[in-house]
Every structure is written in structure tokens, then in C-alpha cells.
Amino acid sequence: CIISLLSVTATFAYTGPKTEADYTAVIKDFIDSHMSSNYKKLNKVLDENSTLKIPRGEKVIQQSKESLIEAMKSSAGTQQNCQSNYEVLAKSDALVIARVDFSYQNNIQHNYLVVERDDKQEWKITQVYKMFDDIETPDNGSPVTAKN
């Protein structure tokens, strides 16, 4: 009886979101939109009420989806000279938190994405937190400052 109960429990144990391909596609589209300034792709993956937050000194500035899309439209087609990478930090059936890194010559831009399943069961990015880390230059060993 106990063995049966354990096997039933193991069979129905939580294994994470069932639509990994769906939220992975959203993350990859976010990356592609950044790499090529593709505002249409970004518009598709952002929730209508999504926000981008960036620390500036001791303040946090916030940008709405609308203003983010408009800013990207003005630089449409611009290719970024960086490498991209992402990692899923946490996931459930309704929420995924991922870190997307864009590595430039002198700094790394970290984007922490909150991806949520909406009322239509579609994965959408609801929040982006953008932060920067400097990379030490090999010529003199001193860090290059990235100004936010």
C-alpha cells in the first residue's frame, strides 16, 4: 500500500511548466529583438502593461511598453555588436524568471525577465529589469565605467 502511494506521488510530482518551448520562444524573441532592433518582435512578446526598469544612480527609471517600442522603432534595423546568452532562474506553470545577458566589449547588460502566462494562456514578458556590469580591459587592468 505504501509502495503504491509512493509510485502515485512520483507519477504526479511537479515537473515544471508543460510549455517550455512557448516561454523559451518568448525569451529567444526578446533576444532577437534586441540584437536587430526588431520592434515588431518585441511588441509581440511584451505584455500590454509591461515595464522596463533601469537603475540610474540612486533612482530607478521606468519605461512603458509603448515608449520602449517607439524608441526601438527609431533605431529599427540596427545590429548590436554583442554576444547573447540566457538562463532560466526559476519557473512554474504560470511564471518564469530568466536572465538574458548581452556581452559587449567593455560591459555586460543583464536583463532580468519576468515572463507570465496571461488570461489566454500565452507567455508574455511583464517586467524587464536592466542592469550593467563592467568588464575589465586587458590593456591596463582598470575597469571601464558604464554609466547608467
Query: What pLDDT band is residue 54 in, cutting at 50, 70 and 90?
Result: very high
Question: Quick check: helix, strand or coil at residue 62?
Answer: strand
Cβ atoms of residues 11 and 89 within 8 Å: no
Cβ atoms of residues 102 and 81 within 8 Å: no
69 phi/psi in degrees, rounded to 5: -65, -45
The confidence score (pLDDT) of residue 139 equals 61
CA distance 92 to 124: 14
**At CA 49, angle to CA 44 and CA 55, rounded to 5?**
100
Please name the residues in contact with 121: beta carbons below 8 A apart, sequence gap of 6 or more.
none
Cβ atoms of residues 115 and 96 within 8 Å: yes
Please name the residues in contact with 139: beta carbons below 8 A apart, sequence gap of 6 or more.
none
The confidence score (pLDDT) of residue 137 equals 60
CA distance 11 to 19: 18
As separate numbers, helices (DSSP H) first and strands (DSSP E) second, the chain gives 4, 6
Q: Specify the pTM.
A: 0.78
pLDDT digits (tens, 9 = 90+) for 83-132: 999 999 999 999 999 999 999 999 999 999 999 999 999 999 999 999 99
pLDDT greater at residue 13 or residue 19: 19
Q: What is the mean pLDDT of residues 2-26?
A: 58
Query: What pLDDT band is residue 6 in, cutting at 50, 70 and 90?
Result: very low
Q: Is the pLDDT of residue 10 over 50?
A: no
